[in-house]
Amino acid sequence: MEYFEDMVVGTRHSFGSYAVTREEVIDFASKYDPQAFHLDDAEAAKTHFGRLSASGWHTCAMTMAMLVENMKSRKHAGLGSPGVDNLRWIKPVYPGDTLRVESELIEKRRSKSRPEMGLIKTHMNTFNQNDEVVMEMTSNAMVSVRDQSAPIEE
């Protein structure tokens, strides 16, 4: 199990491979972001996207799916997330793209009010198959502490 104490600021991970399909783009958009450029080829062609594109929220969801698989493979002792900072959609994601993620742990601290958990901050970039960044965000997460009796460093 990977606990808070095992995590080192500066550690990088590269993970995931997510094939973006036309069916999933339309299905997600029809449920959660029903704008024409996510649903209809002809309408999308009239926009700056030029063709059908995935919702940014769909890109977040695909990134999350890869992140959770990575956490499970590392046996990461995650306890959820209080949110993200600085979420940006840099480039459109299109059906046929294949996404992957690179992350870097940029901060960590032990919770003073909840000694059983630590708080981490990770910068993440999601890339397409051309190694172009399509999304970036800073993710905040809570992680189990192995030794809750250890003193909390100031």
What is the tens place of the pLDDT at every residue in 45-103? 999 999 999 999 999 999 999 999 999 999 999 999 999 999 999 999 999 999 999 99
Identify which of 152, 144, 126, 151 has the alpha carbon closest to the alpha carbon of residue 61. 126
Largest CA distance in the chain: 61
Helix (H, G, I), strand (E, B) or coil at 144: strand
Give the pLDDT confidence score for residue 147 in this predicted structure. 82
Give domain 4-144's CATH number out of 3.40.50.720, 3.40.50.40, 3.10.129.10, 3.55.50.30.
3.10.129.10
Give pTM, 2 decimals: 0.94
Residue 127 near residue 60, CB atoms below 8 Å: no
Q: Is the pLDDT of residue 151 over 90?
A: no
Give the pLDDT confidence score for residue 108 in this predicted structure. 97
Total count of residues recorded for the chain: 154
Q: Is the pLDDT of residue 154 over 90?
A: no
> Where exactly are the structural domains of the chain?
4-144
Give the pLDDT confidence score for residue 150 in this predicted structure. 79
> Using CA of residue 6, residue 113, residue 79, residue 107, what is the dihedral sign?
negative
